[in-house]
Amino acid sequence: MGNGLSSDRLLPCLPSFQPLHIVILGLDCAGKTTVLYRLRFNEFVNTVPTKGFNSEKIKLSLGGGGGGGGGGGGGERRRHWTTPSASFHFWDVGGQEKLRPLWRSYTRCADGLVFVVDSVDGERMEEAKTELHKITRLAENQGVPVLVVANKQDLRDALALAEMERLLALRELGAATPWHLQPACAIIGEGLREGVDKLHAMIAKRRKALRQQKKKTR
Ligand code: G3D
Ligand code: MG
C-alpha cells in the first residue's frame, strides 16, 4: 500500500556511494529498536526503552523479500553473487514525548524514514498520526520517502492495514512524499525485508527524478 511518487526540489545530502541515511521514528514502545536489531542480527533482541539513540550500519541484499538478516551478510548464506545489495545507516531514535523534539536533528539529510506504529495501540493512533505528519511536513523532509511499518501484526487485536492507512491519514501526507505501508512483526522479522526493499526502491526512484530534474535545469 503506498503512493510510490517521487519528486522534489531538494537534493539528497549524501553522495550515492555512502550508506543510505535512514531514521527510524515512532511513538515509544512501537517496536523501533526491535526492528533495528532484527535487521542487524536477524534475531530477536530484548530491548530496553531508548533514552537517546541506537545506530547500526547494515548491508542488506535487495529484492529477496524475506531472506536472511543484516550485519554485512552474515545471515545470507544462499546469496548469489549477482544479488543486488545496499548499505544503510539506520538511526533508531527514542520515541518518548520529551525526546521527540530531537527527531528533527536526526532527519536532517535523511534519505528515508521508517515510521513504526504499534498496530494494537488504537488509543495512540491519533498521536502517531500527528507525529508522522509533523515530521514529514518539515521543509527539509519534503519528498523524503517514508516506510510506515504496521508492527505487531502477530497480535490478535492488530488493526487491519486499510484501517491503519485511514487512521494515520496516509493519503494526506502530500503528493510529494512517497510512502508505503508495510504490515510486519518485528519480533520474528516478518515483513521487514519487504519493507526495506520498498523503501530502497522509493529512494532510488526519487534520486533518479532529482538527477533528471537537475539535467533539465542546466
Ligand atoms: P521502541 O524502541 O519503539 O520503544 P521496542 O520499542 O523495540 O523497545 O519494543 C517495545 C515492546 O514491543 C517490546 O516488548 C518488544 O518486544 C515488543 N515488540 C516489538 N515488536 C513486536 C512485534 O512485532 N510483536 C509483538 N508482539 N511485540 C513486539 P517489552 O515486553 O520488552 O516491552
Ligand atoms: Mg527503543
Nearest ligand, CA 189: 1
pLDDT in tens, 29-52: 999 999 999 999 988 888 888 888
CA of 35 to the centre of ligand 2 (A): 9
Predicted confidence (pLDDT) at residue 170 exceeds the cutoff of 80: yes
For the CA of 26, the nearest atom of ligand 1: 3
Q: What is the mean pLDDT of the chain?
A: 87
Q: Give the whole-angstrom CA distance, residue 5 versus residue 127.
A: 25
What residue has cell string 515509544? Answer: 28
From CA 132, how far away is CA 142, in angstroms rounded?
Answer: 13
- Mean pLDDT value of segment 178-202: 97
Please state the atom number of ligand 1 nearest to the C-alpha of residue 155.
26
Which is more confidently placed, 212 or 123? 123
Q: Is the pLDDT of residue 55 over 80?
A: yes
Please tell me what DSSP assigns to residue 218: -
- 65-124 residue pLDDT tens: 654 444 444 444 555 566 789 999 999 999 999 999 999 999 999 999 999 999 999 999
Evaluate: CB of 38 within 6 angstroms of ligand 1.
Answer: no
pLDDT band at 175 (very low <50, low <70, confident <90, very high): confident
- Residue 213: the pLDDT is 85
4 falls in which pLDDT band (50, 70, 90)?
low
Q: Where are the domains of the chain?
A: 20-60+84-216
Please enumerate in sequence order all residues whose Cβ is within 8 A of that of 69, keeping only pairs 6 or more positions apart, or say none.
38, 39, 40, 41, 42, 43, 75, 76, 189
Task: Among 23, 33, 34, 103, say which to mutate for ligand 1: greatest number of ligand atoms within 8 Å of CB.
Answer: 34
And the C-alpha cell for 27? 511513538
- Three cell numbers, residue 215: 539535467
Greatest distance between any 2 Cα atoms in the chain? 55
* Res. 156: pLDDT tops 90: yes
Q: What homologous superfamily does CATH list for 20-60+84-216? A: P-loop containing nucleotide triphosphate hydrolases (3.40.50.300)
Q: Determine the Cα–Cα distance for residues 20 and 147; give it in Å rounded to an integer.
A: 14
Dihedrals φ, ψ of 8, to 5°? -170, 160
Question: What pTM did the predictor assign?
Answer: 0.88
**Percent of the chain's residues with pLDDT above 70:** 83
Does residue 13 carry a pLDDT above 60? no
**Residue 83 CB less than 6 A away from ligand 1:** no
Over residues 13-34, mean pLDDT: 87
Question: Residue 176: what pLDDT?
Answer: 82
Please name the residue whose Cα sits nearest to atom 19 of ligand 1. Answer: 31
Q: Ligand 1: does its nearest atom lie under 6 Å from the Cβ of 20?
A: no
Nearest Cα residue to atom 29 of ligand 1: 47
Residue among 90, 94, 91, 89 at smallest CA distance from 30 = 94
